[in-house]
Structure 1
Amino acid sequence: MACGFKSYKLSNQLRKLPKVPDKARSCWTSCGLYICKQTTQTALFTIKPFSLVSSPTSKYDKLIASIRAFMSLTNSHRNKKKGEMELQLKHFSHEHALIFKEEPSHESDEYACCSGCGKVASGPSFSCMECRFYLHKKCAEVPSEIKHPFHRDRNHNFKLLSSPPYEGTSLCCFCDKLCKNFVYQCSCGLSLHLDCASFSHKIAEKKFEEVDHIAHIDPLISSTEISNEELKNAKCYGCWKPLLDSAYFSLDCGFCLHRKCAELPLEINHSLHQPRSRLFYFHSSKLFLQFDGTSLRCQICRKTPRGLVYRCLDCKFVLHIECAEIPIKINLPYHRRHSFILQFNSEKFPCQNCQETPKPFAYCCSSCKLAIHVECISPPPVIEDESHQHPFNLFWKQLPFFCDACGTPGTCISYICLTCGLTVHKKCISLPRVINLPRHKHPINHINFLGEDGLKKKRCRICDGKVNTDYGVYYCSSCNYICHVICAIEDYKSYIFDESKEIVEQSLGSIISVIKESKVGNNVIATEIRHFSHQHNLVLSDDIEDDKRCDGCILFISAPYYHCSQCDFFLHKSCAEVPRKMKLWFHIHQRPLTLISDFIFVCGVCNYECSGFAYKCELCKSYICLRCALVSSDHASEGHKHRLVFYENKSARCNACGERSMVPYWCSDCNFALHDKCLKLPHIARHKCDEHPLKLTYHEDNDYAQHHYCDICEKRRNSKNWFYSCTICDSSAHTDCVLQEYPFIKPGTTYKEGDHSHQPLVIVRKVYHYPDCHICCKPCQDLALECAETGCNYIVHWKCINNSSSV
């Protein structure tokens, strides 16, 4: 490693010496010589970084010896008289000249630290007393740029910086500790402490003679340092395994490193890494020992490595150093006919131990189509888990079985409870006894088998598949809710749960203030309330008003409901009593969502624009309308006699619209299916084609073909599909034709639109007179915004406002 001084000029005392060739002058820097340019009071030499130089030749030995003698004489007398010269250094990391001292004098700074390595400044050092800046001589001499054997990427050199480029986030790629002082930085983001760079460089070049002074400790023989708590928790910088696992360097060196990791070969050939084609003639088959700077996963264990890895410089092939050492061929006691070969699992055989998703590389028997993960080849002989009262013992024989815990088949490794007679997969030993699924209101319990004959024909409430109750299931005895073990576990894992203990449902007092009450039978009913969403008191009523909509769900009003006597504000009693915070069973974030009002939003479930109440998720910033929020996973529909159950991936033809696709709501007894959108169709709707309310109709009583036409679009409709009809006028229409594009934005709602001088505007739906839109100049036949100011004729399509605001 080169030193840090390049160009010097001879002092007046040296100018009488013979002319020194440039080659010899460069050699002096390797010998640690300081040659000064004399000034009036001090001697100043300039330090500049340079590349590695050769050792001095014997031709100039006498000259070098005389210069060293002169330097020794100069150093011993430089401080005897005022005005005599002293050695100074101009270093790139500091604005002032630094003065050399054999021992720094920092009495006022008892714990002054070197700005290069961060250690206490001692020994030969440079310092600026004005700024309390200290720099060890060895830190001042480090080269400005190095090429490290553990980082062989092309054109990737480490450059010396006086501070990390990203303060607080730069971690050393060797010791994984924070970089605070001088740092070697590569353009790819790798950082190295000065000491880590020096030590790891010696290890990489196998210069063990330079670290022989460091003691080697075998934890199996010596226990002198094992009482140290820090040592017990220490990890090797090479493999990041516990330091006490094998012989290691003494901690006196300041580094945690196993002796075996220091002796690893710098390059290897591995059978799993081969060039795939002759086209890749430049692709080396060698893997090189490198710092992990790519965050690529190990090809065998699929974990992201730490420390040193074996990596191909031409592709993304990476191996842990311990994975690189595992055998290619093994024999296992449960499969004695063939050996298992470590290879690419191209046919994606499942692991015979953990049953998990196949990994790219595994031990495989291609003849028998078997595979086992590397980490699964040595399963524990006995497993004890708190979910079961007895231990499970390993059974190596290759016999097919059905797991008593989950009900799925197994072919190889199993565990047996000798007391209970249970045979299970390894992963099923730790199944949770109780699971709280968001889709079900009660906790469901894991049971290894159900004895009731009446439950043997039950179907899974998650996938609708048959459930064999002779094996393990998750079951709720309160409501006979049953599901497959695998379905319950996968459904539970699909949610993100909130670990905070925030109250999920608040009392009604948080959103309602009761003004008046009355007793009806044994019940006390609030007849007048103040709701958080409205400024006036609301009065309970049972009188139906056909044209009024609820400001919560935006559906037409039905009894009982609250209304405001001063303005056009209505709330169903059920909508007024929804909690201010609530978890929604179908939402991925299982945390309390907050109820909001006075806001027009797009529902994240039905995708309609809505002006009513919404539950807002602060994590994903989504809004869910009240209609969607109040639908349960086990829902009743007036269009079918049985309750419909939510299924995640059910494909069928919807009985409401006739389209075949994924239909989440299903009755397995009748093969009756509904889309989520069709399940939530309003029971009552209004359209200008009829003066009466239109009622959702589920079947056609009239078999006359000429009757099956939509009175709005005048196209034929399918008599088997749901439609809206008026029994008074004998009219009928498609559901989409009646609801149109904005069925859940309430007319009369105010909205602020920035370009108009009169604010706010009122949402209207014109019936007979269609003025032209001020933006597109087309008639406003659909939802529009109108100015309520007398004499102002400003009106715009709602769609035009949305399009202009999104640009």
Structure 2
Amino acid sequence: MEGKWEIDDVLHLKHRFHQHPLTLVDINQSEEKVAANCQGCGQVVSGQCFSCANSDCNYHLHQKCAQLPFINNHPLHLKHRGYFFLGRRHAYPEYACTLCKEKSSAFLYVCGLCYFCLDINCALYLSNKVGENFFYQSKDEAHQLAFIFFENHKDKLIKIVPCSWCHEPLADSTYVSAECKFHLHKSCFDELPTQIDHPCHRTHPLMLEFDNKNRFCKICQEGDDYEQNLFYYHCVACNFDIHLQCIWPRPVIEDHKRYHIHHEHPFMLHWRRDSFTCDACGTNGNSASYVCCACHLQVHVNCASLPRTIKISRHDHPLSHKYFFNNKKEHDCQVCFEQVKTEYGNYQCLKADCNYVAHVECATLDPSLYDVIEDENLGEDMDCSSFRVIEQNKDGEATKIRHFLHDEDEHDLVLLVLDDQMKQHDSRCCDGCVVSLSISGSAEGSDRPFYYSCLKCDFVLHKGCAVLPKKKHHWYHRFLNTLQSDKNDIFDCNLCGHSCSGFYYQSGIRMKLCLRCAKTPSIIKSGQVHKHKVFFDHRCLEQCNACGRSIDEMGSFRCKDCNSSSFTLDFACVTLPPTIEHKSVCDQHLLQLITYGTEQEEYSESEQAYCNICEICETKRDPKHWYYHCAICDTSAHPNCVLGNYPFIKTSAPFWFSCDNHHRLSFARKKIYECPPQCSECAKHCQDLFLECAPCNYIRHYPYCP
């Protein structure tokens, strides 16, 4: 463990989650005999604890909670060492403890690279057991896996999590594996066989093995991540594998509440390995299954307990699983846009006037992209307006507002519109998305650039940026995002990868979305960035057609109609401004982003070679990639050359660096025809974006000197 808090002495502590210093006191000896709860674990405080001296705070922490390390290399989550850090519940409201499934404590440990988390009570209990790890050895003693043994931990855990071997409720003595992949009774752990005969593989016995190979379970028909270390029963001769937790499915599933089944009849286990099409999801199976004799349904083992109602990140309304499609018209899945088989099960929108449909596999493929919900009448509206209306016109349109991220000294914003002449010469950028005001800020791409301008300063916002809500669910993940702005710092957008100033949506600590990405829909209509409709696919990791770069694990937009060759776009290219100003390329007109199609077919081969030269860097550009172009002046350039370094950091935006006179620095950018300024630190010239203090004539490179 590492990352201890700053402790002045044994009696005083400065904690990052509280604004005042904390002092070690004996709460039982305080004058106010009022019961207090720890702000970390939520349990009652008694005896010595750290408390805030400010009586209005009523803030208390157990000693063990106050001195928790910020970074915790916990034995249950060692695959991401150094990224398991302490957080506060209000920053991660959707995160449930991976072990006990609760959202109880105010503090929790969360992983910065995945969705693994532990509430403080589980983390504290298990951390005390680090020295008591138990190892299960396979028969050949070649593989070992650390288990942590604990007793009398939580009644809730016993009710929610069944034993991975016998599927019965957990007793108070339990073994839990790394990553909480499975839990075992002490008796099941002690008697776990190293060799079994199984009805799904009668040819050879199966041997218990443990490794991190990417094996495919023949029962649940799912593979596993290479980084996961799991137990399997394996046949070497036939390359046949079954998860430990899948080895003995329950013979009958009829407890609707416990096993989440929403079919009115019991499901009976059918061991015979026959090929079938699952009536719940419409995909093929060839292993053990569950059958309903009354309805003649046959489903995968996993599909027997599909949740009835879920809320996926891509759709605003809850979806309900149906075994049969009432409407026999052809429908496309709104995730992969392939046809849905109406004779098999799928997820359908609960709203009567909404035709949203998704394959079961598409809707539930990634647990981080959906929530299981119990209340089908889940409220959709919440009061999250980001502005207050001061004045409005007769049509009800807000003409003067007060925005919560620009509420300094009663600065009001008034609604204005750029005319055609102003579009050509107005170089101002929106303080929200840091894109030119001449480009509409609405998600629909309206041609009328309305914007709000402050009456007391130069703060401006696209209308589309000004009306964005304080809280918003984004289709990229299932967690709630909050609109924020750090006026003295820069953030990196997790989707497009650009360093940005302005507004952003944040979920927890690790996920920040710039407004350009936050406003990008998951489905982009035909004609906007491609001749066909494109949609986002988390699984699509092919090369981007617009820039040629490889796409990382974030996923990408793709077109399903381009059958001859795949068409893929990354977030950075999808969110490129459709028009942009660049004086060195064309000092009279805006440049247009050329996305699909080309007008060079009429040119000769030699003329095409000349046309494919970037006007800025004077190197050859790939004609298959996107570029900026002025049709009037017939000039073109690479998008990266036109944008320059840090294109979405607004000039004049303040930064937390200070000069020698303790003045806050602000961003500036060298004009095209200006001589580059000299850095006050290294004496080299600043070619693009830099930091300056105008009163002190102080200039320095950003982010550091070369």
TM-score range, shorter chain: 0.5 to 0.7
The residue type paired with residue 506 of structure 1 is D
For 2:123, the equivalent position in structure 1 comes to: none
User: More displaced, 358-367 or 750-759?
Assistant: 358-367
Give, in angstroms, the shift of residue 586 of structure 1. Answer: 1.5
CA contact (8 A) 2:363 2:370 kept: no
Q: Are positions 1:539 and 2:414 aligned together? A: yes
Distance 2:149 2:412 in 1: 70
User: Which SS does the other structure have where 2:484 is aligned?
Assistant: strand
CA contact (8 A) 1:642 1:667 kept: yes
CA contact (8 A) 1:351 1:373 kept: no
Give, in angstroms, the shift of residue 421 of structure 1. Answer: 0.9
| Correspondent of 1:377 among 244, 248, 251 | 248
For 2:346, the equivalent position in structure 1 comes to: 473
| Correspondent of 2:575 among 665, 675, 680 | 680
CA contact (8 A) 1:329 1:339 kept: no
Q: Are positions 1:274 and 2:140 aligned together? A: yes
CA contact (8 A) 2:506 2:512 kept: yes
For 1:524, the equivalent position in structure 2 comes to: 396
Q: Are positions 1:623 and 2:623 aligned together? A: no
For 1:403, the equivalent position in structure 2 comes to: 278
Q: Among the aligned pairs, what percent are the same residue?
A: 36
For 2:363, the equivalent position in structure 1 comes to: 488
For 2:97, the equivalent position in structure 1 comes to: none
User: Which SS does the other structure have where 1:785 is aligned?
Assistant: strand
User: More displaced, 700-709 or 433-442?
Assistant: 700-709
TM score, norm. by length of structure 2:
0.62
User: Which SS does the other structure have where 2:658 is aligned?
Assistant: coil
CA contact (8 A) 1:603 1:623 kept: yes
Q: Aligned ranges for residues 193-272 of structure 1 at < 5 Å? A: 272=138
Give, in angstroms, the shift of residue 453 of structure 1. Answer: 6.0
Q: Are positions 1:360 and 2:249 aligned together? A: no
CA contact (8 A) 1:384 1:390 kept: no
For 1:580, the equivalent position in structure 2 comes to: 470
Q: Aligned ranges for residues 620-699 of structure 1 at < 5 Å? A: 620-636=509-525, 638-659=528-549, 661=551, 664-670=556-562, 671-689=566-584, 690-692=586-588, 693-698=590-595, 699=597
Give, in angstroms, the shift of residue 542 of structure 1. Answer: 1.3
Query: How big is the alpha-carbon RMSD for the aligned residues of Structure 1 and Structure 2?
Result: 4.2
Give, in angstroms, the shift of residue 322 of structure 1. Answer: 3.7
Give, in angstroms, the shift of residue 659 of structure 1. Answer: 4.1
Give, in angstroms, the shift of residue 495 of structure 1. Answer: 6.0
| Correspondent of 1:772 among 653, 659, 678 | 678
After superposition, the C-alpha distances for 1:161-181 in whole angstroms (9 at most, x for unaligned) are xxxxx9989xxxxxxxxxxxx
Give, in angstroms, the shift of residue 444 of structure 1. Answer: 2.4
Distance 2:432 2:537 in 1: 28
Number of aligned residue pairs: give it: 503
| Correspondent of 1:701 among 592, 599, 607 | 599
Give, in angstroms, the shift of residue 656 of structure 1. Answer: 2.0
In structure 2, do the counterparts of structure 1 residues 531 and 597 end up closer, same or farther at CA, with 3 Å as the change threshold? farther
Distance 2:401 2:348 in 1: 42
Give, in angstroms, the shift of residue 715 of structure 1. Answer: 0.9
| Correspondent of 1:550 among 418, 423, 430 | 430
The residue type paired with residue 556 of structure 2 is P
In structure 2, do the counterparts of structure 1 residues 366 and 383 end up closer, same or farther at CA, with 3 Å as the change threshold? farther
For 1:225, the equivalent position in structure 2 comes to: none
In structure 2, do the counterparts of structure 1 residues 331 and 720 end up closer, same or farther at CA, with 3 Å as the change threshold? closer
CA contact (8 A) 1:342 1:364 kept: yes
Q: Are positions 1:800 and 2:694 aligned together? A: no
For 2:318, the equivalent position in structure 1 comes to: 443
Q: Are positions 1:723 and 2:623 aligned together? A: no
Q: Aligned ranges for residues 424-443 of structure 1 at < 5 Å? A: 424-443=299-318
The residue type paired with residue 794 of structure 1 is Y
CA contact (8 A) 1:581 1:595 kept: no
CA contact (8 A) 2:498 2:648 kept: yes
Give, in angstroms, the shift of residue 552 of structure 1. Answer: 0.8
Give, in angstroms, the shift of residue 340 of structure 1. Answer: 3.9
Any gaps of 5 or more consecutive residues in structure 2? 1-61, 66-74, 76-135, 154-162, 176-183, 225-229, 439-448
CA contact (8 A) 2:473 2:481 kept: yes
The residue type paired with residue 400 of structure 2 is E
Structure number having the greater strand percentage? 2
For 2:667, the equivalent position in structure 1 comes to: 763
Distance 1:416 1:391 in 2: 8
Distance 2:658 2:294 in 1: 76
User: Which SS does the other structure have where 2:465 is aligned?
Assistant: helix
The residue type paired with residue 514 of structure 2 is C
CA contact (8 A) 2:559 2:567 kept: yes
Distance 1:167 1:595 in 2: 33
Distance 1:488 1:517 in 2: 42
Distance 2:690 2:493 in 1: 20
For 1:744, the equivalent position in structure 2 comes to: 648
User: Which SS does the other structure have where 2:580 is aligned?
Assistant: strand
Distance 1:566 1:328 in 2: 76
After superposition, the C-alpha distances for 1:312-352 in whole angstroms (9 at most, x for unaligned) are xxxxxx995544446666666676x6464444389987555
| Correspondent of 1:732 among 614, 636, 639 | 636
Distance 1:411 1:485 in 2: 18
In structure 2, do the counterparts of structure 1 residues 586 and 713 end up closer, same or farther at CA, with 3 Å as the change threshold? same
User: Which SS does the other structure have where 2:517 is aligned?
Assistant: helix
In structure 2, do the counterparts of structure 1 residues 465 and 660 end up closer, same or farther at CA, with 3 Å as the change threshold? farther
Distance 2:475 2:580 in 1: 28
After superposition, the C-alpha distances for 1:709-735 in whole angstroms (9 at most, x for unaligned) are 111001112223221123343321110
In structure 2, do the counterparts of structure 1 residues 766 and 356 end up closer, same or farther at CA, with 3 Å as the change threshold? closer
After superposition, the C-alpha distances for 1:689-724 in whole angstroms (9 at most, x for unaligned) are 132332222343233312221110011122232211
For 2:34, the equivalent position in structure 1 comes to: none
The residue type paired with residue 527 of structure 1 is T
User: Which SS does the other structure have where 2:392 is aligned?
Assistant: strand
For 2:330, the equivalent position in structure 1 comes to: 455
CA contact (8 A) 2:312 2:369 kept: no
CA contact (8 A) 2:313 2:369 kept: no
After superposition, the C-alpha distances for 1:159-204 in whole angstroms (9 at most, x for unaligned) are xxxxxxx9989xxxxxxxxxxxxxxxxxxx9xxxxxxxxxxxxxxx
Which is bigger in relative contact order (C-alpha 8 A, separation at least 6)?
2
CA contact (8 A) 1:553 1:613 kept: yes
Give, in angstroms, the shift of residue 525 of structure 1. Answer: 1.4
In structure 2, do the counterparts of structure 1 residues 715 and 507 end up closer, same or farther at CA, with 3 Å as the change threshold? same
Distance 1:308 1:646 in 2: 42
User: More displaced, 639-648 or 348-357?
Assistant: 348-357
After superposition, the C-alpha distances for 1:473-514 in whole angstroms (9 at most, x for unaligned) are 223485544433233222244568999999975343xx3232
In structure 2, do the counterparts of structure 1 residues 275 and 730 end up closer, same or farther at CA, with 3 Å as the change threshold? closer
TM score, norm. by length of structure 1:
0.55
User: More displaced, 745-754 or 355-364?
Assistant: 355-364
CA contact (8 A) 2:165 2:247 kept: no
Give, in angstroms, the shift of residue 400 of structure 1. Answer: 2.7
CA contact (8 A) 1:365 1:371 kept: no
In structure 2, do the counterparts of structure 1 residues 750 and 453 end up closer, same or farther at CA, with 3 Å as the change threshold? same
For 2:693, the equivalent position in structure 1 comes to: 787
Give, in angstroms, the shift of residue 389 of structure 1. Answer: 1.3
CA contact (8 A) 1:461 1:647 kept: no
Q: Aligned ranges for residues 60-75 of structure 1 at < 5 Å? A: none
